[in-house]
Amino acid sequence: MTEKLTVPLIALRDIVLFPGAIEPLLIGRTKSVNAVCKTYEEQSDILVVTQKDPSIDEINANDLYNVGTIGHIHNFMKLNDGTVKVLIKGLYRVSIDNISDEDDIIKASYTKLQNKSRNSKMLEGLKRALISAFEQFYKYNKKLPQDVLNMISNIDDPSQTCDMIASYLPLKMSEQQEILELVNVKKRIEKLIFIIESQTELFLVEKKIKSRVRKQVEKSQKEYYLNEQLKAINRELGNSEEQPDEIKELKHKIKSLPMSKEASNKALQELNRLKNIPNFSQESVVIKNYIDWLIGIPWSQSKEELSMEYAEEMLNKHHYGLDKIKDRILEYIAVYKRTKKVKSQILCFVGPPGVGKTSLGKSIADAMKRPFARISLGGVTDEAEIRGHRRTYVGAMPGRLIQTMKRSSVTNPIIMLDEIDKLGSDPESALLEVLDPEQNSTFTDNYLEVQYDLSKVIFIATANSFDISLPLLDRMEVIQLNGYTEEEKLKIAKDFIIPKQIEENGLKNNEIKFDDNAILNIVRYYTMESGVRNLERKISKITRKVVRKLVSSGSEENQTITITADSLQEYLGIKKYNQDIVSREPTVGVVNGLAWTETGGDVLTIEALKIPGTGQLLTTGKLGEVMQESMKAAYSFVKSQYQVLKIEEEDLSKYDIHVHVPEGAVPKDGPSAGITICTAIVSAFTSKKPRSDVAMTGEITLVGKVLPIGGLREKLLAARRNGINNILIPKDNEKDIDELPNILKNDLNIKCVKHINEVLQTVLI
Ligand X SMILES: Nc1ncnc2c1ncn2[C@@H]1O[C@H](COP(=O)(O)OP(=O)(O)OP(=O)(O)O)[C@@H](O)[C@H]1O
- Among the candidate windows 197-205, 315-323, 378-386, 666-674, which touches ligand X by CB under 6 A? 315-323
Beta partners for residue 734, in sequence order? none
Q: How far apart are CA 328 and CA 336, in angstroms?
A: 12
Cβ of 620: how many Cβ atoms within 10 Å?
12
The answer to whether the beta carbons of residues 300 and 411 sit under 8 Å apart is yes
How many C-beta atoms surround the C-beta of residue 673 within 10 A? 31
189 touches ligand X by CB under 6 A: no
Judge contact between 333 and 367, C-beta under 8 A: yes
Of 111, 216, 282, 359, the residue at the interface with ligand X (CB under 6 A) is: 359
Examine the residue annotation and report whether 653 is marked as an active-site residue of this protein.
no
Q: 527 to 546, contacts with ligand X by CB under 6 A?
A: 531-533, 536
- By C-alpha distance, which of 7, 49, 58, 67 is closest to 31? 58
The b/e string for 436-449 (b: 16+ C-beta within 10 A; e otherwise) is: bbeebeebebbbbb
Residue 357 lies near ligand X (rule: CB under 6 A) = yes
CB of 326 to ligand X, least distance (A): 10
20 φ/ψ sector (left φ>0, alpha ψ -120 to 50, else beta): left
Q: Is 741 in the site for ligand X (CB under 6 A)?
A: no
- Chosen from Mg ion, ligand X, none, partner binding at 753 (C-beta under 5 to 8 Å by type): none
Q: In this structure, which amino acid lies at residue 449?
A: E
What does the alpha-carbon distance between residue 307 and residue 81 come to, in Å, rounded to a whole number?
105
Residue from the set 106, 355, 498, 719 that interacts with ligand X by CB under 6 A: 355
- Smallest gap from Cβ 316 to ligand X, in A, equals 10
**Region of 350-358, 367-375, 620-628, 742-750 interacting with Mg ion (CB under 5 A):** 350-358
State the minimum distance, in angstroms, from the CB of residue 751 to Mg ion: 36
Closer to Mg ion by CB, 110 or 320: give it: 320
Q: Does 530 bind Mg ion (CB under 5 A)?
A: no
450 secondary structure, DSSP code? S
Q: Residue 354 binds what, of Mg ion, ligand X, none (CB under 5 to 8 Å, by partner type)?
A: ligand X
**Adjacent-strand bridge partners of 30:** none
Candidates 108-116, 183-191, 227-235, 358-366: pick the segment binding Mg ion (CB under 5 A): 358-366
CA distance 544 to 537: 10
| Residue 672 a catalytic site member | yes
Residue 192 has phi, psi (to 5 degrees) of: -65, -40
Give me the least distance between CB of 359 and Mg ion, in Å please. 8
Stretch that binds ligand X, among 152-160, 319-327, 449-457, 639-647 (CB under 6 A): 319-327
Q: Does 319 bind ligand X (CB under 6 A)?
A: yes
Task: Answer yes or no: are the C-beta atoms of 5 and 39 closer than 8 Å.
Answer: no
Catalytic residue among 284, 672, 683, 692, which? 672
User: Whose Cβ is closer to ligand X: residue 117's or residue 462's?
Assistant: 462
464 is a contact residue toward ligand X (CB under 6 A) = yes
Cβ closest to ligand X, residue 160 vs residue 358: 358
Find the shortest distance in angstroms from Cβ 419 to ligand X: 7
Phi, psi of 668 (to 5 degrees): -125, 140
Interaction of residue 358 with Mg ion, rule CB under 5 A: yes
Q: How far apart are the first and last CA of the chain?
A: 136
Measured from the CB of residue 532, what is the shortest distance to ligand X in angstroms?
A: 5
Question: Which partner in Mg ion, ligand X, none is near 359 (CB below 5 to 8 A by kind)?
Answer: ligand X
Q: Phi/psi of residue 606, each to 5°?
A: -115, 135
Site for ligand X in 443-462 (CB under 6 A): 462
Nearest Cα residue to 609 out of 691, 677, 684, 679: 684
Count of residues engaged in binding Mg ion, rule: CB under 5 A: 1
CB of 370 to Mg ion, least distance (A): 19
DSSP strand pairing (22-27 vs 84-101): antiparallel
Residues 6+ apart with CB under 8 A from 367: 310, 311, 312, 314, 315, 329, 333
Contact by Cβ (8 Å): 462, 361: yes
Give the bridge partners for 46, in sequence order.
71
DSSP codes joined into one string, 84-152: EEEEEEEEEEEEEEEEEE-SS-EEEEEEEPPPB---HHHHHHHHHHHHHHHHHHHHHSTTS-HHHHHHH
Instruction: For residue 722, state whether it binds Mg ion (rule: CB under 5 A).
Output: no
Task: Using alpha carbons, select from 173, 176, 177, 169 the residue that is nearest to residue 152.
Answer: 169
Q: Is 24 exposed, middle or buried, given 0-12, 13-18 or 19+ CB atoms closer than 10 A?
A: exposed
Query: For Mg ion, which residue has the nearest CB?
Result: 358
Residue of 50, 160, 177, 358 that binds ligand X (CB under 6 A): 358
CB of 522 to ligand X, least distance (A): 14
Closer CB to ligand X, residue 16 or residue 377?
377
Per rule CB under 5 A, is residue 34 in the interface with Mg ion? Answer: no
The continuous run of DSSP H or E covering 374 comes out as strand 372-376
For ligand X, which is the closer residue by CB, 93 or 319? Answer: 319
Question: Between 367 and 396, how does the x/- string for binding to ligand X read (CB under 6 A)?
Answer: ------------------------------
353 is a contact residue toward ligand X (CB under 6 A): yes
CA pair distance 450, 409, nearest whole angstrom: 18
> Could you say whether residue 320 binds ligand X (CB under 6 A)?
yes
Q: Using CB distances below 5 to 8 A depending on partner kind, what does residue 380 bind out of Mg ion, ligand X, none?
A: none
Contact present, 98 and 34 (Cβ < 8 Å): no
Stretch that binds Mg ion, among 37-45, 351-359, 499-507, 553-561 (CB under 5 A): 351-359
- Nearer CB in complex with ligand X: 19/531: 531
Q: How far is CA 359 from CA 305, 352, 533, 661, in A?
A: 22, 13, 11, 35
Q: DSSP state, 691?
A: P
Least Å distance, CB 284 to Mg ion, is 42
Nearer to ligand X, 496 or 596 (CB): 496
Which partner from the list ligand X, Mg ion, none does 536 bind, CB cut-off 5 to 8 Å by kind?
A: ligand X
Binding mask 491-530 for ligand X (x = CB under 6 A): -x---x----------------------------------
How near is the Cβ of 463 to ligand X at its closest, in Å? Answer: 8
How many residues of this chain bind ligand X (CB under 6 A)? 19
Q: Which is nearer to ligand X, 50 or 599 (CB)?
A: 599
Closest CB to ligand X: residue number: 356
Measured from the CB atom, the residue of 65 and 484 that comes closer to ligand X is: 484
CA atoms within 13 A on the CB side of 734: 7
CB of 741 to Mg ion, least distance (A): 23
| Secondary structure letter of residue 708 according to DSSP | P
Question: What is the helix (H) or strand (E) element at residue 658, kind and residue range?
Answer: strand 655-660
CB-side exposure of 362: number of CA atoms within 13 Å?
Answer: 8
Query: Rounded to the nearest whole angstrom, what is the least distance from the CB of residue 544 to ligand X in the complex?
Result: 16
Q: Which of 31, 186, 326, 715 is catalytic?
A: 715
Taking contact as CB under 6 A, which single stretch among the options 174-182, 320-328, 332-340, 446-454 is the one that binds ligand X?
Answer: 320-328
Residue 605 pairs in a beta bridge with 592
DSSP state of 497: I
The residues that touch Mg ion, with contacts defined as CB under 5 A, are 358
The residues that touch ligand X, with contacts defined as CB under 6 A, are 319-322, 353-359, 462, 464, 492, 496, 531-533, 536
**Any idea which residues carry the catalytic annotation?**
672, 715
